[in-house]
Amino acid sequence: MPKKYPRLLAALLGLALLVLAGCSNNTVATVNGTPITATQLDEKVEQMKKQYAQMGLSFDGEQAKPLLDMLRRQTLQQLIDRELLLQKAKEWKISPTDKEVDEALKKFRQQFKDDAEFKKYLAANGFSEPKLRDAVRESLVMDKMQQKVLADLKQPSEAEAQSYYNAHKEQYQVPAQYQVRHILITAGGSDGGTAQDRAKAKATALQLIAQLKNGADFAELAKKYSQDPGSASNGGLYTFKKGDAVPEFEKAALALKPGEITTQPVQTEYGYHIIKKEKDIAGKQMTFAEVKDEIIQQLHSEAAQKKLDEFMQELRKAAKIENKLPEAGEQQQSGGSEQKKK
């Protein structure tokens, strides 16, 4: 059984790394009377903004305000769901033992090469060791909750997998591929270079074609002259399917028969290519036997996710939840201030 389901409990595990502030009159939500404060929300939003910043997404400036508002609403919903799960865990008397926490912490620390690297990680992320221990304990609570909810989930049968395969055979088709070698001679910078740069690159490519006609080894020339960092060291070897390569390269490569070499340099946005067709690799339909285990795993994961989603919906429906953040488009004040009630 998979241990993590990214859209629900696994996503909530990250919230365990948030140090929850003490109770405050300034609440942004309550869950069965338990407050979630603006401070808690702001801390988690800042954490999420840093993660998104590493992916190049900025929340600065007036134009990003709707995106930031959406992030705040989504993050608050995560905190609400987390609180619902923790309350249910308390009702079910789910609590990891100290030994389980110790073992989980030990495994976590083993990810680091030494104690200094571990402490550097804690400092960089604003964690103390007691704080990390609390986070690990909460993560184990979530794991145990998931196990309990999914305890009676049955493994999909082979017949169910076969039925899915029959209805979705197109998902298990391996497209035809084409194996080539190529030599790339670039023509200056990212703008394609000057006319003089292009002329010089084309002349070099023509000289290499002449050497190939006289019996030079293509792979050796590629290693020596190709300026494609992804294939030069491998003798210019490149395998692709339709749609993978730029149009000019693909058209020229597909026109070749195995063993043939382009007689003229092929110009693309990257420069000039000399292409040799090595072989065509026929596409095929994967058999049920080849993909049976993959399908069973997929169906099991989907069933588990559905059950977890339904469980979460039941918790929300049965709970008394007050969300004080404005709806999209309403005026929202800065974190820490009074929020308009829904």
Taking phi over 0 as left and psi of -120 to 50 as alpha, with beta for the rest, 61 belongs to left
Largest CA distance in the chain: 85
Q: What is the band of 49 on the pLDDT scale with cuts at 50, 70, 90? A: confident
Residue 54 confidence class, pLDDT cut points 50, 70, 90 = confident
pLDDT at 328: 62
pLDDT in tens, 209-219: 999 999 999 99
Q: Is the dihedral of CA 118, 123, 124, 130 positive or negative?
A: positive
Start and end residues for every CATH 1.10.4030.10 domain found in the chain:
9-156+289-323
Average pLDDT over every residue of 180-191 = 85
Identify the CA nearest to 307 among candidates 83, 1, 59. Answer: 1
To the nearest 10°, report the CA torsion of 34, 40, 71, 305.
Answer: -50
| Among 49-53, 82-86, 109-113, 322-326, the least confident range | 49-53
Residues 6+ apart with CB under 8 A from 308: 5, 7, 8, 9, 146, 149, 150
- Nearest residue to 239 (alpha-carbon basis) of 250, 255, 223, 252: 250
Angle between helices 288-318 and 129-149 (to 10 degrees): 110
In this prediction the pTM is: 0.69
Tokens of 159: 């017949």
Start and end residues for every CATH 3.10.50.40 domain found in the chain: 176-282
Band the pLDDT of 340: cuts 50, 70, 90.
Answer: very low
Average pLDDT of the residues in 160-188: 96
What confidence score (pLDDT) does residue 158 get?
97
* For residue 9, pLDDT beyond 60: no
> Tell me, which fold does domain 9-156+289-323 have in CATH?
Triger factor/SurA peptide-binding fold (1.10.4030)
What average pLDDT is seen over the chain?
A: 87
The domain made up of 176-282 is a member of CATH 1.20.120.1200: no
Of 82-96, 127-141, 170-184, the least confident: 127-141
Mean predicted confidence (pLDDT) in 329-336: 42
Over the stretch 110-162, which tens digit does the pLDDT of each residue have? 999 999 999 998 887 777 889 899 989 999 999 999 999 999 999 999 999 99
Give percent above pLDDT 70 in the chain: 87
Q: Are 260 and 301 in contact (CB under 8 A)?
A: no
